């Protein structure tokens, strides 16, 4: 299986499955490119992992994973990073035989909406049928651990990242400033900072849950105080790197930056963000239809991305499928633990991948700036 690493200078590599074989099964991440001398603690990583932990509340999976992490590499005896790769592991603790047998009972019938069919074609009968293996949402716990390291480093640069729900089952949050979204961050299970809309969303999701079904929605990701000129103008646009990072999350089925698809309904005079000089002589923009990106590079405005999140594919309603062993059609209504919506936990995965992409771009930009020897007036506009 290829493609388990992301990033060039700041680079994360993950491994592990939803239900690994044996008592010590779990998920792990190796993080390359961590500077030396940082007071990176287990608690810093754990704070992020707790945001996606299952078994809490009515809107997520009842699976009782504690998601407790251990940093097993990259820290010296004084508790500071040494510059070596940082290794973090999270063990599975709720992989009971009853749940494994439930998966075994329909392991040859691929669940609609899941990756079972291409897994059969790619890995044959040895494909991991228990909890979807590397295609499981549980795979993202290692991403969150790696993203926690990236967020910790970005915080030193004053860069903040927030993701939150803006739509579910047709219920939309009103437009919110970054400050208001931050103020109401994680104040409800669905993590919608419009508190009135959140109540309606949660009620609608619980109704769908009673029907044995699941709900999708839209997550907005905002990166605040990102310096300008990150990214490259052609194939390595920052927008392309961010899209790669975010679209690698299994449940993401659509992405848009800034005004997104609405630009297709605009005139140029409506779409263009007009610049001005602020009191400090910095270039700012009166609007942000571009979502903080021009030519694929950051402008210094908030980078704003919206993600379409599909409904959890496992549902209790009967669906038609195919038994891949007998190659006959069958009906399936699997019994398994699941989230009635992914919105209440996936936002932190989006934050993690945004952080990893941005930090890697920041490393590359700082390396370039150190050698380009540009006129100081351009460095000043970059905040350097």
3-class SS string, 106-168: CCCECCCCCCHHHHHHHHHHHCCCCCCHHHCHHHHHHHHHHHHHHHHHHHHCCCEEEEEEEEE
CATH number for the region 5-381 comes to 3.60.150.10
Q: Kindly report, residue by residue over 192-235, the tens digit of the pLDDT.
A: 999 999 999 999 999 999 998 999 999 999 999 999 999 999 99
- In this prediction, the residues of the chain whose per-residue pLDDT falls under 50 are none
pTM: 0.93
pLDDT value of residue 337: 66
pLDDT value of residue 335: 64
**Following DSSP, what letter does each residue of 252-289 receive, concatenated?**
EEEEEETTGGGGGGS-HHHH---EEE-TTS-EEES--T
Longest Cα–Cα distance of the chain, Å, equals 71
Q: In what order do the strands lie in the sheet with 26-32?
A: 5-6, 11-16, 26-32, 86-91, 69-73
Q: Kindly report, residue by residue over 48-98, the tens digit of the pLDDT.
A: 999 988 767 788 776 677 889 999 999 999 999 999 999 999 998 877 777
**What are the structural domain ranges in the chain?**
5-381
Q: Kindly tell me the burial class for residue 264, based on how many C-beta atoms sit within 10 Å of its own C-beta (0-12, 13-18, 19 or more).
A: exposed
Residue 179: strand, helix, or coil: helix
């Amino acid at each position: 299986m290829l493609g388990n690493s992301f990033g060039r200078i700041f680079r994360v590599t993950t491994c592990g499955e939803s239900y690994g074989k044996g008592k010590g099964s779990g998920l792990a991440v190796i993080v390359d490119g961590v500077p030396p001398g940082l007071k990176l603690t287990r608690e810093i990583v754990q704070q992020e992992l707790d945001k996606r932990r299952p078994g809490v509340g009515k809107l997520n999976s009842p699976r009782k994973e504690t998601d407790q992490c251990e940093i097993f590499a990259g820290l010296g005896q004084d508790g500071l990073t040494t510059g070596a790769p940082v290794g973090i592991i999270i063990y599975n603790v709720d992989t009971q035989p009853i749940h494994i047998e439930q998966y075994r009972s329909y392991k040859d019938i691929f669940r609609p909406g899941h990756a079972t069919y291409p897994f059969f074609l790619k890995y044959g009968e040895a494909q991991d049928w228990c909890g979807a293996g590397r295609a499981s949402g549980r795979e993202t716990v290692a991403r969150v651990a790696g993203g926690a390291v990236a967020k910790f480093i970005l915080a030193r640069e004053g860069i903040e990242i927030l993701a939150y729900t803006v739509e579910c089952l047709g219920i939309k949050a009103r437009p919110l400033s970054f400050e208001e979204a931050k103020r109401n961050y994680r104040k409800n299970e669905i993590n919608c900072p419009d508190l009135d809309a959140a109540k309606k969303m949660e009620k609608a999701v619980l109704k769908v849950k009673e029907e044995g079904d699941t709900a999708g929605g839209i997550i907005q990701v905002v990166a605040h105080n990102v310096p300008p000129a990150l990214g490259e103008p052609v194939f390595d646009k920052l927008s392309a790197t961010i899209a790669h990072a975010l679209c690698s999350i299994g449940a993401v089925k659509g992405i848009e930056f800034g005004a997104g698809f609405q630009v297709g309904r605009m005139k140029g005079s409506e779409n263009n963000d007009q610049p001005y000089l602020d009191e400090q002589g910095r270039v700012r923009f009166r609007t942000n239809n571009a979502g903080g990106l021009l030519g694929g590079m950051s402008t210094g405005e908030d980078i704003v991305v919206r993600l379409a999140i599909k409904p959890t594919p496992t549902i209790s309603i009967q669906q038609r499928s195919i038994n891949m062993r007998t190659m006959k059609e069958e009906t399936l209504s699997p019994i398994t633990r699941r989230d009635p919506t992914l919105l209440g936990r996936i936002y932190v995965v989006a934050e993690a991948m945004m952080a990893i992409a941005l930090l890697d771009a920041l490393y590359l930009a700082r390396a370039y700036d150190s050698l380009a020897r540009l006129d100081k007036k351009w460095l000043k506009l970059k905040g350097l």
